[in-house]
Amino acid sequence: MNQALLTKHIRNRKSYLCVGLDTDPLLLPAHLKDRPDGVIEFNKAIIGATLPYCVAYKINTAFYEAMGARGWEWMEETVRHIPEGYFKIADAKRGDIGNTSTQYARAFFEKMNFDAITVSPYMGADSVRPFLEFKNKFTIVLALTSNSGAADFELQPCGEELLYERVLRTVSSWGTTDQLMFVTGATRPESFERIRTLVPDHFLLVPGVGFQGGSLAEVSRYGMNAHVGLLVNASRAIIYASSGETFATAAAEIAQQYQFEMSGYLE
C-alpha cells in the first residue's frame, strides 16, 4: 500500500482510526479466558466489529511474543484475518545492524505480510535502510513518543534543536513519503506545528489518544495535512470497552464514536 491508496481509504471511510490489537490473555472477557483459542476468538470478534470504522490495525508484537510459539501463530492468524484494503502495522520497534534489520524486515513484510513496521532509529541509517528496500511497505520511525520517558532523550537539546527534531529532519531524507512514517505522540499536541514544518508531507502514527489522555481534536487540528497524513491509534479504549460477552459490540460503539468525530475533521 502506498500513500495515495491509504489516503483514498481514509477519505472513503471517513476515518483515520487505527485499532490497536494489544491483546492480553489476562484481560480477555471471562467466557474466553479458559478457551484454548480465546485470544484469536477475541481478535476476530474485535476486527469484525470495528471494520466499518477504521482504516488500520496495529499489532503490538510484544503481547504475542510473550505467549511463546502459540502467540506467534495467533499473530499470524490475526494478520490473515484482516481484509485487504486495511493497513496492517507490526508495532515491533525493531532496530539493529543492517543484516539483522534485513531479517526483521523479511519476517514481518514477507512472512507475515504486514504493510508497516515500527523501527527505532537509535543505531542510525544503516539500521533503518534495510526496511526501506521493500516495495509498497512503510517503515514507521519513532520520533516523539507519548510516554513520560520521552523527556530523557527525545526532548533533550541536540545542537540548536531537540533530539526528536533531529530525528525527523535526518530520517526524512533517507526515503520517500511512500516509504517512511513517523510516530508522534498525541500527549504532546503543542509539538505538531513544529513537526509539520519538518515533515509536512509524511504520515504520522499517533498513539496516546484515549486512555493516555491525548486530544483527537488538537491532533487533527495541528497534525493534518493535504493527504490527511494521520493514523490515530486507540487500543485499550476500544478493545477493552467491555469485559462482558458483548465486548465486540462495545468496541464497535467506541470505534464508531472516533469515526464520527474524525469524519467532521475531514470535511
Q: Which three cell numbers stand for residue 95?
A: 532496530
Helix axes 69-81, 38-50, angle to 10 degrees: 20
Q: What is the DSSP string of 5-26?
A: HHHHHHHHHT--EEEE----GG
Find how far residue 177's CA is from the centre of its chain.
16
What pLDDT, on the 0 to 100 scale, is given for residue 267? Answer: 86
Place of cell 520497534: 93
Residue from 192, 185, 119, 118 nearest 146 by CA: 185
Active site residues: 93
At 261, the amino acid letter reads E
Amino acid 214: pLDDT = 75
CA 148/CA 169 separation, integer angstroms: 23
pLDDT at 1: 92
Q: Which CATH architecture has domain 3-266?
A: Alpha-Beta Barrel (3.20)
Low-confidence spans in the chain with pLDDT less than 70: 210-213
- The whole-angstrom distance between residue 238's C-alpha and the CA centroid of its chain comes to 14
